[in-house]
A and B are shown apart, each in its own frame.
Chain A
């Protein structure tokens, strides 16, 4: 990790890390319809309270761990960084709700704002945790752990098969963990029902992009090791695509297990359900790969 990165690159890294954290922590709440429903009739006072709550959580997280790789600086820095994180949470929650079709232009302004703001609370906490703790952990033991990684990657060199299998296994495990908790719920049919085919393509694109960001752009510390790890998964693009396919497979297995999909159901239903559940499954798969 070079310290001589351009400031724009640094800023982009922070942004990517925030996006990754928001989805890692926020995805279960995104697929919870009660959160959208309550957003339908949230009074403006409660919306302000929710924003303050998210901001307070960010202040606490940023203050506790220091933001942007340095120890906590002056207070105005913390205030500004927390504001950035909150804005990012609002943007990611808006985009993700729009992608799965939960907010539409036809809905009234207050219902839309309610949903976005309610969803932004867990997203904020995800961003705060990602920026401070996930990133910090990697930097804390910078030298020693990179040595350790060298050793492991040398071992892997002789067994590139192991590398591939380990990645595939980690993806499948992570995807199963997340998909298992979401597959039996009513959100999958509900989201899938409202989606035109073009939207499915958008969800596929979003899944791939998020998986790539979480594993390769978010600087969670494993990137270097990941790129060095041999095996079929070597190139980031290939790894992202294969992991997505594995996640889709696990999503399909979970849907079949919980009988949301049965042998006689139409192909379009199989397709849309699997793609809708594929989004959280891919994020789980990506989390699995950075965790192992």
Chain B
């Protein structure tokens, strides 16, 4: 009995099997296609950052300044340190935060905290590591 079922199952694929095979192959083609596209278009531009500051909110006398950091390069940056600075020499306040990883073309959000209204805060990426 087991032999019989064995034989009948080696015969051509059923419709169900064909459908799942075709869907699988399409999915694989997509994945391989994307990877190949990444490979071909791999210019490996080094990390380059854009910072957009959002609105600051006042929480118990501290100002929380939100910002969005975008890596416009292709390469991943690690330990990306963003530094914010307000005021002028002598009366300066700085604040900083570090992102573990910012992959190429990724956007991440962060917050810097200041004790005075950070309307004229200047944000910049101070450093990063190449993983």
Interfacial residues, chain A to chain B (CB-CB below 8 A): 3, 6-8, 10-11, 14-15, 37, 40-41, 43-45, 47-48, 51, 68-71, 73-74, 77, 80, 83-84, 86-88, 90-91, 106-111, 113, 116-117
Question: Once the chains bind, are A110 and B74 in contact (CB under 8 Å)?
Answer: yes
* Whole-angstrom CA separation of A87 from B32 in the bound complex: 11
Question: Once the chains bind, are B105 and A109 in contact (CB under 8 Å)?
Answer: yes
Q: Contacts A7-B16, A70-B10, A106-B106 known; A113 to B38 CB distance under 8 Å? A: yes
The smallest beta-carbon distance between B33 and chain A, in angstroms, is: 11
Q: Contacts A15-B20, A40-B76, A111-B76 known; A51 to B104 CB distance under 8 Å? A: no
Question: Once the chains bind, are A87 and B9 in contact (CB under 8 Å)?
Answer: no
The smallest beta-carbon distance between B40 and chain A, in angstroms, is: 8
Interfacial residues, chain B to chain A (CB-CB below 8 A): 5-6, 9-10, 13-17, 19-21, 23-25, 27-28, 31-32, 34-36, 38-39, 42, 71, 74-76, 100-101, 103-108, 131
Question: Once the chains bind, are A87 and B28 in contact (CB under 8 Å)?
Answer: yes
Which residues of B have CB within 8 Å of A113?
Answer: 31, 34-35, 38
6 A-B pairs whose Cβ atoms sit less than 8 Å apart in the complex: A11-B20, A71-B6, A83-B21, A111-B76, A113-B38, A116-B31
Question: Once the chains bind, are A44 and B35 in contact (CB under 8 Å)?
Answer: yes
Contacting residue for B31 out of A10, A14, A51, A106, CB 8 A:
A51
Which residues of B have CB within 8 Å of A87?
Answer: 23-25, 27-28
The smallest beta-carbon distance between B105 and chain A, in angstroms, is: 3
Question: Once the chains bind, are A80 and B21 in contact (CB under 8 Å)?
Answer: yes
Question: Once the chains bind, are A109 and B16 in contact (CB under 8 Å)?
Answer: no
Contacting residue for B16 out of A8, A86, A106, CB 8 A:
A8
The smallest beta-carbon distance between B107 and chain A, in angstroms, is: 5
Question: Once the chains bind, are B21 and A10 in contact (CB under 8 Å)?
Answer: no
Residue of chain A at shortest CB distance from B130: A41
Q: Contacts A84-B21, A84-B24, A87-B24 known; A111 to B31 CB distance under 8 Å? A: no
Which residues of B have CB within 8 Å of A11?
Answer: 14, 16-17, 19-20
Q: Contacts A45-B39, A47-B35 known; A90 to B27 CB distance under 8 Å? A: yes
The smallest beta-carbon distance between A67 and chain B, in angstroms, is: 10
Question: Once the chains bind, are A83 and B25 in contact (CB under 8 Å)?
Answer: yes
The smallest beta-carbon distance between A42 and chain B, in angstroms, is: 9
* Whole-angstrom CA separation of A47 from B39 in the bound complex: 10
The smallest beta-carbon distance between B1 and chain A, in angstroms, is: 8
| Among all A-B residue pairs, the 8 with the closest Cβ atoms | A111-B103, A108-B105, A44-B39, A87-B24, A7-B14, A41-B76, A11-B16, A84-B24
Residue of chain A at shortest CB distance from B109: A106
* Whole-angstrom CA separation of A82 from B62 in the bound complex: 58
* Whole-angstrom CA separation of A86 from B29 in the bound complex: 11
Q: Contacts A10-B16, A70-B9, A83-B24 known; A44 to B103 CB distance under 8 Å? A: no
* Whole-angstrom CA separation of A111 from B65 in the bound complex: 27
The smallest beta-carbon distance between A197 and chain B, in angstroms, is: 19
